[in-house]
Amino acid sequence: MKRIAVVLFGLLAVAASLFAGPDPALAQAKKTAAKDLPPQYRRWLEEEVVYIITPKEREVFLQLENDRDREVFIKAFWRQRDPTPDTDTNEFRDEHYRRITYANTWFGRDAPGPGWRTDMGRIYIILGEPKTIDRFENLTQVYPTVIWFYSGLEFQRLPSSFNVVFFKPEGQRSYVLYSPMRDGPQKLLIHYMGDMTDYMSAYQQMMDVEPAIAGVSLSLIPGEMAFSTRPSMSSDILIGNYIPAAASEKVKDDYAEKLLRYKDIVEVEYTANYIDSDAMLRVYRDASGNAFVHFLVEPSRLSVEPAGGGYRAGLEADVSVTDAAGGLVYQYNRSVPVDMTGDQLAAVRGKLFSYQDLFPLVPGSYRISILLKNRVSREFTSFETSVLVPPAGAFTLFAPCLANRADKASRFQGQSKPFLFGGLQLTPSPRNDFLPGDTLGAFFQLANAPADVLDGGVVEYRILKDEPQGTETVRVLSRPLSEYPDRTNVFEEFPLAGFPAANYILRVSVRDASRAERVAAEERFLVTPLPALMRPWVLSVPRPSNDPEYLHIAGTQYMNKKDWDKARPLLAAAVRRDPGSAPFALDYVRLLLELQDYAGAKAAAQTFLGDERKWDFLEPVGRAAQALGEYEPAIAFYKDYLAHFGANLNVLNAVGECYLRLGNAAEALNAWERSLKIEPNQPKLKERVRELQTKK
């Protein structure tokens, strides 16, 4: 089935302030020396892609432990460079191997090794065919010299036009790269007898012999040396730095690190298809004081396929939250179908796409990982960040959120929706980019502000222009906190008319009645010189603000943190609000078992034991009955469980224990022997079995 990629434009660099850098676990992963790789992968790394692979890609490749992962990496490597990823042809890869073949055919004839190893081969593989080639190979006073001229290459750091010069010094069989600073025109001349540090003397002699060579002998960049008598440092930077880096300049190699992280998590068909994205995450409190994580992910493209007369993408979001010790605190998976008509697809083509969501998170310090997959294209993107949710009673200024659009009377007021606060719906950009004519909306949240701040405090906004030589204050606004209708959710707007294109910092400072600063935060933004910006179409699913699922989520988070006392009232409240929810009841039952409230656990499960929902409750209710000494009912629950789910060591062992308590050693022995057949390595159980067998 043909897929259509909705191409999304934007600056694809995730805001550095959101991320804590590479995962230390990746940096510490075991590496394989290149010489120890299987031959085909060593050849790929050290011959086929040696000039175009980035250092990060190479580092990740050497951390892969098996051929399956290496094949997936190679597929991803070429996909990241494919100019038309939705077709079967990879023009970049095909051109790269054509260049290698050409280099080996034409540049290895006089060289001791293959052509790709030569200087000419290296430059040709990186830059491709020159615009023109001038050969000076039969001059009696000049070593054989070849000048390649390039222009119009689409590389950011390369000049619009430049030369690359090769020559054969005395005794050299193959051409080597010429450097104006290292070699100079004196090394091109066969009979130069002057001072080897006198570049101008050699230049004048070369002008008399061959002006075309003299013209590139001090600088490789046309027009640069009009008023200079020394070799060009820029030329050496060009051949030593910019040209080698050109091959990987446009590659966003973060995918390699993501592939290493997620290769054992995402399905095989996804692993090679990492796509870049921008992302943003903020923590704010709702009206009841509960903290929520608001986030958005903007993938670099959204692929759809024809379906039922329209078009469809199948998004799947996986979110996990871990604590400082790596323990899982919360995890959820959400499937979000995206269905569009042909007209809707045409309307969003060329626009950004923003997936937005939110979830509650209890106080603590966490690592959040968000994985967004498209089941249609088998592509995925991700981001990770560290986040701190402060205690409920702490005086806190939650990080500012900058919006390029703000709806102050949202039709979703009263619901739970990302970046919605009362009736204020914000549309932020993860890049914080604005046009000179835009209005910047600045939102921040104050929690538990003391009286001397609430009653007499002020908010100071300071906009600073951020330049290499330092910052410069361009605007300051002070406003009494009492002037804001809502002193918890604070919103201010700044027209950007007259702001020149530049990087800026918005610093928000909350001061008390004495004008002493109490809390502050800052956020960077960009006023772009671009004539227009593509703003996204947003996909988010509003939910009722009083959804009992939020109570359940917070309760399970506390339960995973083993904070039973805080988990219990939240899970109990979720069950009261939705007594028919089996997932709510099941987690509540599990919590009561941890608290050793076995009677409460049995009572909470009773509603679900009479219908098809009973299966998940059988094992925990069996444990509760066993703990209460109700061994026969416990055995019945356990046997129903085994009949439905099959053998389970813990359940079989519990059945044996219950039979033994009832004095039925034969049935206990039968259950335990079945358990040992499944897993013989249970030394304590073996000893109990031997004791029973001895008493027969």
pLDDT in tens, 612-634: 999 999 999 999 999 999 999 99
Q: Looking at the structure, do residues 349 and 421 belong to the same domain, yes or no?
A: no
Q: Provide the residue type at 520 as one letter.
A: A
pLDDT in tens, 630-653: 999 999 999 999 999 999 999 999
Q: Looking at the structure, do residues 421 and 367 belong to the same domain, yes or no?
A: no
Q: Looking at the structure, do residues 376 and 510 belong to the same domain, yes or no?
A: no
115 belongs to a structural domain: no
Q: How far apart are CA 169 and CA 624, in angstroms?
A: 88
pLDDT in tens, 238-290: 999 999 999 888 898 989 999 999 988 888 888 889 999 999 999 999 999 99
161 belongs to a structural domain: yes
Under 8 Å between Cβ of 510 and 379: no
Q: Looking at the structure, do residues 279 and 384 belong to the same domain, yes or no?
A: yes
Structural domain that includes position 209: 130-236
Q: Looking at the structure, do residues 217 and 302 belong to the same domain, yes or no?
A: no
Q: Looking at the structure, do residues 192 and 137 belong to the same domain, yes or no?
A: yes
Is a pLDDT exceeding 70 seen at residue 9?
Answer: no
Is a pLDDT exceeding 60 seen at residue 356?
Answer: yes
Under 8 Å between Cβ of 286 and 416: yes
Q: How far apart are CA 265 and CA 258, in angstroms?
A: 11
Q: How far apart are CA 434 and CA 454, in angstroms?
A: 32
pLDDT in tens, 122-143: 999 999 999 999 999 999 999 9
97 belongs to a structural domain: no
Q: Looking at the structure, do residues 423 and 376 belong to the same domain, yes or no?
A: no
Q: Looking at the structure, do residues 264 and 189 belong to the same domain, yes or no?
A: no
48 belongs to a structural domain: no
Confidence of residue 109 (pLDDT cuts 50, 70, 90): confident
Residue 236: name the closest of 164, 331, 343 by CA: 164
Tokens for 170, please give them. 């005395």
pLDDT at 249: 85
pLDDT at 86: 78
The one-character DSSP state at 32 is -
Q: How far apart are CA 398 and CA 137, in angstroms?
A: 70
Tokens for 453, please give them. 């701040």
208 belongs to a structural domain: yes
Q: Looking at the structure, do residues 397 and 411 belong to the same domain, yes or no?
A: yes
pLDDT at 1: 52
Under 8 Å between Cβ of 563 and 571: no
Residue 571 sits in a domain whose CATH number is 1.25.40.10
For residue 183, give Cα distances in angstroms to 147, 170, 446: 15, 13, 65
pLDDT in tens, 138-169: 999 999 999 999 999 988 889 999 999 999 99
Confidence of residue 111 (pLDDT cuts 50, 70, 90): confident
pLDDT in tens, 166-176: 999 987 889 99
Under 8 Å between Cβ of 442 and 493: yes
Q: Looking at the structure, do residues 410 and 422 belong to the same domain, yes or no?
A: yes
Q: Looking at the structure, do residues 260 and 322 belong to the same domain, yes or no?
A: yes
Is a pLDDT exceeding 70 seen at residue 12?
Answer: no
User: Tokens 């006089």 identify what position?
Assistant: 110
More confident residue, 322 or 20: 322
Of 333, 359, 392, the residue that ends a domain is: 392
Q: Looking at the structure, do residues 259 and 376 belong to the same domain, yes or no?
A: yes
For residue 406, give Cα distances in angstroms to 409, 424, 427: 9, 7, 6
Tokens for 378, please give them. 């088998």
73 belongs to a structural domain: no
Q: For the chain, what is the radius of gyration of the CA atoms? A: 34
Query: Which are the contacts of 654, defined by CB distance < 8 A and separation ≥ 6?
Result: 622, 623, 626, 634, 638
Query: SS3 string of 260-308?
Result: HHHCCCCCHHHHCCECCEEEEEEEEECCCCCEEEEEEEEECEEEEEEEC
Tokens for 574, please give them. 């979720």
Mean of pLDDT values over 428-436: 97
For the chain, count helices (H), then strands (E).
Answer: 23, 26
Burial 521-538 (b: 16+ CB within 10 A, else e): eebebbbbeeeebeebeb
Of 203, 236, 269, the residue that ends a domain is: 236
Is a pLDDT exceeding 90 seen at residue 226?
Answer: no
For residue 208, give Cα distances in angstroms to 198, 200, 692: 16, 13, 108
pTM of the model: 0.83
Of 337, 367, 392, the residue that ends a domain is: 392
Tokens for 182, please give them. 């290292």
Q: Provide the residue type at 537 as one letter.
A: W
346 belongs to a structural domain: yes
Under 8 Å between Cβ of 443 and 434: no
Residue 375: name the closest of 1, 76, 88 by CA: 1
Percent of the chain at pLDDT > 70 equals 95
pLDDT at 10: 34
Mean of pLDDT values over 423-438: 96
Tokens for 329, please give them. 């605190």
576 belongs to a structural domain: yes
Is a pLDDT exceeding 80 seen at residue 48?
Answer: yes
pLDDT at 227: 52
Tokens for 583, please give them. 């997932």
Residue 444 sits in a domain whose CATH number is 2.60.40.1930
The one-character DSSP state at 142 is B
How does the average pLDDT of the chain come out, rounded?
A: 92
How many domains does the chain contain in total?
4
Confidence of residue 25 (pLDDT cuts 50, 70, 90): very low
Q: How far apart are CA 393 and CA 383, in angstroms?
A: 30
Residue 349 sits in a domain whose CATH number is 2.60.40.10
Under 8 Å between Cβ of 196 and 181: no
User: Tokens 């929520």 identify what position?
Assistant: 292
pLDDT in tens, 297-331: 999 999 999 998 999 999 999 999 999 999 999 99
Tokens for 143, please give them. 């070593």
More confident residue, 555 or 267: 555
Half-sphere exposure of 372 (CA within 13 A, CB side): 28
